[in-house]
Amino acid sequence: MFNKFAIKRYVKKLRPLLEKEYGQRSTYSASQIRTTVFKKNFNAKYLPLAYIMCLKKEETQLVLSVEFPDLCVSAFKETINNLVDSAEITQCFNTLSS
């Protein structure tokens, strides 16, 4: 179901593309993230990962509950972490769950 290459692409390339398009920020809006994902041909199946990496914690919960109501964040986290060992992703999930 999950593609290791697609996940690594999110980790390595999404934030630099967002910075190039919208300027350097600590977080971005859901629409900015979604636009970049589709415009730059990222695999949309991993859009929840983009939200977890780039949205404010409070916004992440809301956006995920609206756009991905059936998503189990803990199962998603486990699947991602089993495929890619990334300190950045681990930090994002830890921030989300705290």
Task: Answer yes or no: is pLDDT of 94 > 70.
Answer: no
Q: Where along the chain do its domains lie? A: 4-97
Contact 72, 97 (CB under 8 A): no
Average pLDDT in the chain:
86
Tokens of 22: 């919208």
Over residues 15-25, the pLDDT tens digits come to 999 999 999 99
Percentage above 70 pLDDT, the chain? 93
Cα 62 from chain centroid (whole Å): 14
Task: Answer yes or no: is pLDDT of 91 > 80.
Answer: no
Over residues 49-72, the pLDDT tens digits come to 899 889 988 899 899 999 999 999
Q: How far apart are CA 89 and CA 21, in angstroms?
A: 22
Q: Kindly state the average pLDDT of the residues 44-52.
A: 90
pLDDT at 17: 95
